[in-house]
Amino acid sequence: MSKRIAFIGPPNVGKSSLFSRLTGVFTPIGNWSGLTVEAKQAKVFWCGQMVDVLDLPGFYALTGGGQEEQIAQQLVDHTHADLWLLVLDAVHLPRQQTLLKELIERKLPLIVLINQIDEATRLGIHIDAHKLQQRLGIPVLAVSGRECVGLDAIQQVVCESLAKPPQIHPATAPTEQDWLADVWQPPSLLADELTERLDALFLHPLWGLPLFALIMVMLFQGVFWLGGGIQGILADAFDVLQQSVFSPALATAPAWLSGLLIDGVYTGIATLLSFVPLVALFFFLLASLTESGYLARMAFLADGLMARFGLEGRSLVLTVMGMGCNVPAILGARIIPDKRMRLLTQMMLPFALCSARLQVFVFIAAALFVPWQAALVVLGLYTLSVLAALITAWLGQKAMKPMGLHPVIFEMPAYRIPNWGMALRTSWHEVVEFLRRASSLIILGVIAVWALLNLPVGVVAGSSESYAAQIASVLAPIFEPMGLPQLYILALLFGLVAKEVVLGGLMVLLGVSDSGLSDAVAASLSPAAALGLMVFVLLYTPCLATLSVLKQEGGWRLMLASLGWSLLFAWLVAVGVYQLAHILM
């Protein structure tokens, strides 16, 4: 039977960073012990044997009676570990003594890792780990996951501890007041001038929020322009590959087979890979923000507003960044430790107006409205997307089982230059995990859409004989209150793959080229129906990639809940907008 060790400690002390450095595992998360909490898990070959390594959620104490303390007690009681690695923050060591005392009193086989020793040294804090080890009677190591300091020592001490019987602590632990005497010695004035100056700017009561908004816009533009540009290059490369290699190779194959392989399988793979730049860039920026220390400030600034909707500040940060692409934003919700808040955030994120939807709105608005009206339409859609997200969070909070007060404690780390290597590794592992988990649903979904449009065999794609047209005919009475012709219902089926495909679908269905699409849309759609269509495209079912990551993060239940709610909400709002616009226009 393999040995098991567990990382434990307060939030934001670098516990997961140490876990990743020592195991090479960055992202896999799963439910643990049947509880409503999650843990990372990895297997490594240490000490001549396989060792099961856990990274448990962070908490500040085992006693106190609050929800967090109750979950912490369940974690410790339900988790069997041969060795516990307690990670503490070197800079804030005095205020973490309570957890250390509680774990020692439970007589757990314990190793104390005082992390971020590099940061403590920079601030002039002296820590005598050896003296604390003698005082407590258990191994104590000063380490840095960020700078890879002490990693070999951790592995060595773990192996030594696993090779001997569990260490029994004294029946009476030393008093807390004695533990850090001559062990943790701050300078006469413990201050980080750079952090204080930056906080005076970024957390200022007047211009802190405008700076936050400016930085969020810059981040959004970075994901949108750079990630979108790389997406475009990839799309062109896939088109060239299709035209020069796959289409000629399948020229003699039956039409249904070449269509299945090219428009189904190949398009599904291309759709999957097109999200790689956005996922990679998003997680690189997110990891860099976390490393720099500013993400905690962003969450703090936004927390007051989001608390009214049962969320925390990081939910707003992710929503704004989700306007580049919903997919990496939903994956990024892993940074929210509370499961309830994380699920609410993931439910609201598909309503963020992503760049794919923006392409559709800019085109249709320009085709049917004069420039100043088109600008107001797009602005209104952005406003509606935020309102839809907040309404979803508010309703979700009401629908979920009451959880009581759950205050969020924000640790404000010192500002520092991000560890670019760590950010790149995090980004790479997130991309690999996305490809591994999302590939099947996205590719199968694209094939399913192709089948609906091209079957039975021999029909013209999207013609009245296709299965898709038959479905659209059945759905026509449902869409009649928003003034949509049947061919636009078919175009919405194209949008299940990706929202920008709606325009390509309209070209096929209207039988026009790129240059003629604008006039064709203006001729076939009234301004009121165009508003209803854009609202529906904004709110209805997320694209296949978004649905895929929703299933990946929350299972079928989260995915189906998001799908059902978005369809209902989209229909209600789109019908209301069309009917009102039809009266006023």
Lowest-confidence region among 7-11, 281-285, 484-488, 506-510: 506-510
Distance (Å, whole) CA 125 – CA 129: 12
462 or 32, which is more confident? 462
Q: According to the model, what pLDDT value does residue 426 have? A: 79
Does the predicted TM-score (pTM) go above 0.85? no
Q: CA end-to-end span of the chain, whole Å? A: 74
Residue 491 has pLDDT above 80, yes or no: yes
Distance (Å, whole) CA 81 – CA 78: 10
Whether 500 and 356 have beta carbons less than 8 Å apart is answered as yes
229 or 525, which is more confident? 525
DSSP string covering 485-501, please? -HHHHHHHHHTTT-TTH
Residue from 53, 56, 124, 57 nearest 90 by CA: 124
Most confident of 43-52, 256-265, 320-329, 524-533: 524-533
Residue from 89, 67, 71 nearest 79 by CA: 71
Whether 14 and 89 have beta carbons less than 8 Å apart is answered as yes
Domain range annotation of the chain? 3-191, 208-353+381-438, 449-584
Q: What is the mean pLDDT of residues 503-514?
A: 78
Residue 14 has pLDDT above 60, yes or no: yes
Query: What are the two backbone dihedrals, phi and then psi, of residue 5, each rounded to the nearest 5 degrees?
Result: -125, 150
Pairing of the two strands 184-185 and 126-127: antiparallel
304 or 391, which is more confident? 391
Sheet holding 83-89, edge to edge: 29-31, 38-46, 49-55, 3-8, 83-89, 110-115, 140-142
Reduce the DSSP state of residue 259 to 3 states and report it. Answer: helix
Structure tokens at 148: 């890879």
Lowest-confidence region among 53-67, 95-109, 142-156, 281-295: 53-67
Q: What is the mean pLDDT of residues 341-358?
A: 89
- Close Cβ partners of 128 (under 8 Å, ≥ 6 residues apart): 182, 183, 185
Residue 441 has pLDDT above 80, yes or no: no
Architecture of domain 3-191: 3-Layer(aba) Sandwich (3.40)
Distance (Å, whole) CA 532 – CA 361: 11
Pairing of the two strands 38-46 and 49-55: antiparallel
Tell me the per-residue pLDDT of 92-129, one tens digit each, with 9 for 90 and over: 888 888 889 888 888 889 999 999 898 888 888 899 99
Residue from 562, 99, 504 nearest 352 by CA: 562
Tell me the per-residue pLDDT of 536-559, one tens digit each, with 9 for 90 and over: 999 998 888 899 999 988 889 999
Q: According to the model, what pLDDT value does residue 172 have? A: 46
Q: What is the mean pLDDT of residues 165-194?
A: 65
Q: Would you place residue 409 in the very low, low, confident or very high pLDDT band (cuts 50, 70, 90)?
A: low
Pairing of the two strands 83-89 and 38-46: unpaired
192 or 508, which is more confident? 508
DSSP string covering 434-456, please? HHHHHHHHHHHHHHHHHHHHH-S
83 or 320, which is more confident? 83
Report CA-CA distances (Å) from 556 to 236, 446, 550, 551, 562. 34, 18, 8, 5, 10
Q: According to the model, what pLDDT value does residue 62 have? A: 81
Q: According to the model, what pLDDT value does residue 33 have? A: 35
Residue from 169, 150, 38 nearest 106 by CA: 169
Distance (Å, whole) CA 502 – CA 301: 37
